[in-house]
Amino acid sequence: MTPQQDKTYHLSEERLIIKHSGEIPEVTYHGSIYYLTRDPEGPSLVLNTADLRFLQEMVLERYRVIILRDLTPENREKRLYRGLQRGAVNWERLTDFSNRYCWDLANIREEIAGALMAFLRQEAKDTNDGCLPSSINSTPRVLETFSRDLGINLDDLPSCWKKLCGNV
């Protein structure tokens, strides 16, 4: 294996680890950087900007997947569901990470905003129909901040959005 093939292999392996990391992929990213560059048992690579961006891109993707998981109505009754509160926290983590490393989140922001609106519409329908109690585990203020951060006008939220946060 050439040195470049070796580098590509190690970067791809670490990217895969980030993809399947837990709730805070940024921690895994920093662990990967350490392993690849300074760990005595690591490959002692010299990483350039493109290498770092390759790994950072997966951090963004992992946060995206985690946030969308918690904004998927079908997941509300599943063990993997963490709730809207966790989605808001992860959005904040994602934006902090993207600001630190100069990533544009316009496409992800749009996708997550759409998912939040769909989630709230479904939540309003299910609670109004009496099918389910509200699963929203955040305060109205958290939901308001999350919505605004995503570029959602509060007037576009379901009229009962504050009531959906009533169990908190």
Summarised one tens digit per residue, pLDDT across range 118-140 is: 999 999 999 987 778 889 999 99
- The answer to pTM > 0.85 is yes
Q: Output the pLDDT for position 115.
A: 98
Residue 70 and residue 81 in contact, taking contact as beta carbons nearer than 8 Å: yes
Q: How many CA within 13 A on the CB side of residue 11?
A: 20
As a whole number of angstroms, the distance between CA 14 and CA 33 comes to 9
**N-terminal to C-terminal alpha carbon distance within the chain:** 56
Residues of the chain with pLDDT under 70: 3, 166-168
**Integer-rounded Cα radius of gyration of the chain:** 19
Q: What is the pLDDT of residue 167?
A: 60
Among 51, 60, 58, 57, smallest CA distance to 19 is for: 58
Q: What is the pLDDT of residue 15?
A: 98
> What is the DSSP secondary structure assignment for residue 155, as one 8-state letter?
G
Which pair of tokens denotes residue 145? 């901040």
- Whole-angstrom Cα distance, residue 66 to residue 86? 9
Query: What is the C-alpha to C-alpha distance for residues 47 and 65, in angstroms, rounded to an integer?
Result: 26
CA distance 45 to 96: 27
What pLDDT does residue 35 have? 98
